[in-house]
Amino acid sequence: MVRKNRIEELAREYVSVKTHTGTEMERNAEAFFSSYFENIPYFQENKRHRGFYPIKKDPLKRNISWAFYKGQGEKTVVLIHHSDTVDTDDFGLYKDKAYNLDQAKEVLSQGKLPLSKELKEDLSQEKWFYGRGISDMKGGGSIHLALLEEYVQEENFKGNILLLAVPDEENSSAGMRSASYLMKELKDKYNLEYVVMLDVEPHERSDEEKFTIYDGSIGKMMPIFLVRGKLAHTGQIYAGFSPIHLLSGIVRKTELDPQFVETRGTTTTPGPTWLYMKDRKYVYDVSLPLTAGGYMSVLSLSKSPLEIMETLKKSAEEAFAEVIADSKERYKPFKETSAITYGEMEYEPIVYTFDELLSLVKSQEGISLEELEEKEDAIVKGIQEGEFDRIEGSYQWMEYVLSQLNHKEPCVVIGMAAPYYPAVNNGDLPSKEKTDAFLEDFAKELKDVYGMEMEVQNYFTGICDLSYGMFTASKETIDYVENNLMLWGKDYEIPLHLIKEMSMPVFNIGPWGKELHRYGERVYQEDLLEKVPHMVDFTIRKFLEQ
Ligand SMILES: [Zn+2]
């Protein structure tokens, strides 16, 4: 079958499979892949070259669908895409039509959902495919699948291809975080050399004539804060210390803080923002809450988690000192007029990283390490059984450890919450010259074949699985993450050592898409059926022949 017809056929079938992220439906992808494997003689004969690799510690028991084509030599290209999509609630009454490209288009064409001017215009031309996941990213996945089908029919194929369809990308990338173990197993078994990882996520484009390629992906981390105050009845408020007041001081100081805005190459990160802040009080009473918690999102390019957390710790200490000073100031008029007073407000700004707190607690006399571990395990069990979510579990763990601390002074604990996406860029690897030279070849091919210009974006800013294609930060950073990310190794982990060992250049070469995660989701047909497959094929062959 002609390549473009095959891609369309695969995409239609793939989209029809419901794989809502973070649900058991994600396992439906396996049936799709089983029939894909069964249709290809190479994979019928080589059953050990494909399969379903279980995700570690996954309550939903999802698997990575994978296929490995062993050609000649050791050089191996890794093709990744995610098999999950967001749900279809956005389609409202028509949510069942979202899994069929024709029906999805029909719903929109008939104006059954509100249409923007741009969407109306696009609908009037036959240039786009519509439907849940067609753009993000079953269309792109179908490009990889169609190419692999072609390669397995080539005799004397130079190099090897590993194709991975990973679950959970829209959630916390459990699929890609486990994929490193599979990659390591195959690497050892067949003595592979991984030369490049290619993702095929869609991208927004301002200029139709400019083809966008990404040679990196933005980093994202979530610092999580637990703040302890001092309990007091509201009538005796000056004897207490409000954790809400303190936490808001920290929020006020760090929200959009330009210290965290980074520019590298063509990319500038937006400042950090708080996603959540709340007291940890569950019922109403007239006391202050004892603790309050919040977490924020920080996007990064070259700053390591260690640097980011150190800066945050300093900001938290400053905010703490300011809140103490303000409180004292505001206490004054009361002290001068009231017959009853509450002594002096004497506090020190105490800020611990989670690692510091845990070490401190463990060093105290009479602490049972077994009990600590049991508590942590119980919390993990609660998360895995769906009793509460990962963030709530993180707070419970921080609270428990803090409650074991001998002193009861107001203090702040800072840790990291999952997920964590390392920032990656090919410029950080020793192969930088090679990848730069490749980009020149890529630009030339685009110009020669399609008359298009190439636009290199140094970071895919939508956050994607390429974050786990390399890890270039120091061992010190790995230790820091492992010691400060909540419930690390029990509920959430990233094999950073493995990723560091297998580090390879990464590129995202995907189609033009619009309105991802919304009912207007669409992908540009020409990109999906012709340009992207051609350019991905060009890239694969370039890296395998080098
Ligand atoms: Zn995606």
Of 439, 424, 430, residue with least CA distance to 538:
439
Q: How far is the CA of 463 from the centre of ligand 1 (A)?
A: 8
- The pLDDT assigned to 546 comes to 62
Residue from 185, 289, 202 nearest 245 by CA: 289
Q: Ligand 1 centre and the CA of 240: distance in Å?
A: 48
CA–centroid distance, residue 174 to ligand 1 (Å): 14
C-alpha of residue 345 to centroid of ligand 1, in Å:
52
**Cα 107 to chain centroid, rounded:** 32
Quote the CA–CA distance of 404 and 371 in Å, as a whole number. 11
Q: How many whole angstroms from 22 Cα to the centroid of ligand 1?
A: 14
| Element containing residue 508 per DSSP (H, E) | strand 506-508
- Please choose, from the candidates 306, 303, 263, 262, the residue with its C-alpha nearest in 3D space to the C-alpha of residue 416: 306
Q: pLDDT tens track of the chain, all 546 residues?
A: 899 999 999 999 999 999 999 999 999 999 999 999 999 999 999 999 999 999 998 999 999 999 999 999 999 999 999 999 999 999 999 999 999 999 999 999 999 999 999 999 999 999 999 999 999 999 999 999 999 999 999 989 999 999 999 999 999 999 999 999 999 999 999 999 999 999 999 998 878 889 999 999 999 999 999 999 999 988 899 999 999 999 999 999 999 999 999 999 989 999 999 999 999 988 888 888 899 999 999 999 999 999 999 999 999 999 999 999 999 999 999 999 999 989 999 999 999 999 999 999 999 999 999 999 999 999 999 999 999 999 999 999 999 999 999 999 999 999 999 999 999 999 999 999 999 999 999 999 999 999 999 999 999 999 999 999 999 999 999 999 999 999 999 999 999 999 999 999 999 999 999 999 999 999 999 999 999 999 999 999 999 996
Q: What's the 464 CA to ligand 1 centre distance in angstroms?
A: 7
Q: If we measure between CA atoms, which residue out of 369, 428, 431 comes closest to residue 404?
A: 369
List of residues 6+ apart from 288 with CB closer than 8 A: 229, 230, 231, 232, 234, 237, 240, 241, 242, 243, 244
Helix, strand, or coil (residue 143): helix
Pairing, β 193-199 against β 72-82: parallel
Cα(132) to centroid of ligand 1, in Å? 11
What's the gap in Å between 517 CA and the centre of ligand 1? 9
Distance 169 CA to ligand 1 centre (A): 7
| 407 Cα to the center of ligand 1, angstroms | 47
Q: Where are the alpha helices (DSSP H) in 364-431?
A: 369-384, 390-403
Q: How far is the CA of 136 from the centre of ligand 1 (A)?
A: 4
Q: How many Å apart are CA 298 and CA 308, to the nearest integer?
A: 8
CA 430 – ligand 1 centroid, Å: 28
- The pLDDT, as a whole number, for residue 459 is 95
Ligand 1 geometric centre to CA of 51 (Å): 22
**Distance from residue 203's CA to the centre of ligand 1 (Å):** 9
Expressed in angstroms and rounded, the spacing between residue 415 Cα and the centre of ligand 1 is: 28
Helix (H) or strand (E) holding 199: strand 193-199
- Extract the runs of DSSP E, i.e. beta strands, from 302-360: 351-353
**245: how many CB neighbours lie within 10 A of its CB?**
17
Query: CA–CA separation, 107 vs 12, rounded Å?
Result: 17
CA 201 / ligand 1 centre spacing (Å): 5
Cα separation, 298 vs 256, whole angstroms: 9
Instruction: Give the distance (Å) from ligand 1 centre to CA of residue 344.
Output: 55
CA of 86 to the centre of ligand 1 (A): 9
Q: Ligand 1 centroid to 516 CA: how many Å?
A: 8
- Residue 307: CA atoms inside 13 Å, Cβ hemisphere, count? 12
CA of 214 to the centre of ligand 1 (A): 14
DSSP class of residue 135 equals I
> How far, in Å, from the CA of 26 to the mean position of ligand 1?
14
Distance 101 CA to ligand 1 centre (A): 18
> Cβ(281)–Cβ(475) under 8 Å?
no
Q: How far apart are CA 431 and CA 363, in angstroms?
A: 45
Distance from the alpha carbon of residue 222 to the mean position of ligand 1, in angstroms:
20
Cβ neighbours around 321 below 10 Å, total:
14
How many angstroms separate the first and last alpha carbons of the chain? 30
Distance between CA atoms of 263 and 269, rounded to whole angstroms?
7
Strands 63-69 and 158-166: antiparallel
Round to whole Å and give the CA distance between 480 and 477: 5
CA–centroid distance, 133 to ligand 1, in Å, is: 8
**Centroid of ligand 1 to alpha carbon of 459 (angstroms):** 15
CA–centroid distance, residue 199 to ligand 1 (Å): 10
Tell me, in angstroms, the distance from the centre of ligand 1 to residue 232's CA: 48
What pLDDT, on a 0 to 100 scale, did the predictor assign at position 288? 86
Q: Ligand 1 centre from 83 Cα, in Å?
A: 9
Provide the 10 A C-beta neighbour count for residue 318: 16
